[in-house]
Amino acid sequence: MKCPKCSAEVQEAAVYCHKCGERLDGHKSSIPLPSEEESPSPAVEFPDADDRPAPTATERFKEAAAGRQVATDEPENELWKGGYATKSMIGAWIVSVLISIGLFILPIWAGWGATGWWIILVLILLLWLYQFVALARRKLGVHYRLTSQRFFHESGILRHVTDRIEAIDMDDVVFEQTILERLVGVGSIRITSSDRSHPELYIHGIENVKEVASLIDEARHKERLSRGLHIESV
């Protein structure tokens, strides 16, 4: 028996030609041969998730901030407003009083005449004039304002400069007091933040410093909660 396609000798019982693969029972082969157009595309290998490097703490923080930040329509409310307290200069005043007493005793102890007394009076006057000018410069040239979202620091008399720190950028709030400042209820506040202009801002001469520091820290905490940012999520 010969194959009708290639004329090769095949056995009578054969179903397919052993040379060309032609079906010998009169039907076309039901098994299509793959063509170049129908050649299977190479398998795409996907990287294993376990092979990728673990995200850093900064990347995790940014992902948490982007995923959990919520825009709020809450108004910006003013929480506190103040400036340099006069009582903050109590230390300088005590030193000035002691110096004035010493200068007053000096001409008596040295037996100076009228000229010596005039020199002492001028020195005492210049000393207290300096203290009053320093007080006026601090009271007129420094102002502070705290809102529910930001802290404003205004300085300068002739050249006025206003800086602001976002409450959400504040990292730590600490207040400090000397012995004399504790007696009169004043002190200084140190704000540590991620703000580039003022990574550490010192606020001097604050009356009721403990309460003001608590207000700043509470505003910082509430603003972070409202934005959905938590250090624990890093």
- Specify if 171 maps to a domain: yes
Q: What is the pLDDT of residue 63?
A: 63
Q: Which domain holds residue 207?
A: 78-233
- Specify if 71 maps to a domain: no
Judgement on whether residues 86 and 25 belong to the same structural domain of the protein: no
- Specify if 61 maps to a domain: no
- Specify if 53 maps to a domain: no
Q: What is the pLDDT of residue 66?
A: 56
In CATH, what number is assigned to the domain containing residue 119? 2.30.29.30
Q: State the 10-residue block means of pLDDT for the chain, 234 residues long.
A: 76 72 60 48 50 63 54 75 94 94 89 87 95 94 93 89 91 93 94 88 93 94 77 43
Q: What is the pLDDT of residue 111?
A: 83
3-state secondary structure the chain: CECCCCCCECCCCCCECCCCCCECCCCCCCCCCCCCCCCCCCCCCCCCHHHCCCCCHHHHHHHHHHHHCCCCCCCCCEEEEEECCHHHHHHHHHHHHHHHHHHHHHHHHHCCCHHHHHHHHHHHHHHHHHHHHHHHHHHHHEEEEEECCEEEEEECCCCCEEEEEEHHHEEEEEEECCHHHHHHCEEEEEEEECCCCCCEEEEEEEECHHHHHHHHHHHHHHHHHHHCCCHHHC
Total of domains in the chain: 2
pTM over 0.75: no
- Specify if 120 maps to a domain: yes
- Specify if 176 maps to a domain: yes
Q: What is the pLDDT of residue 36?
A: 45
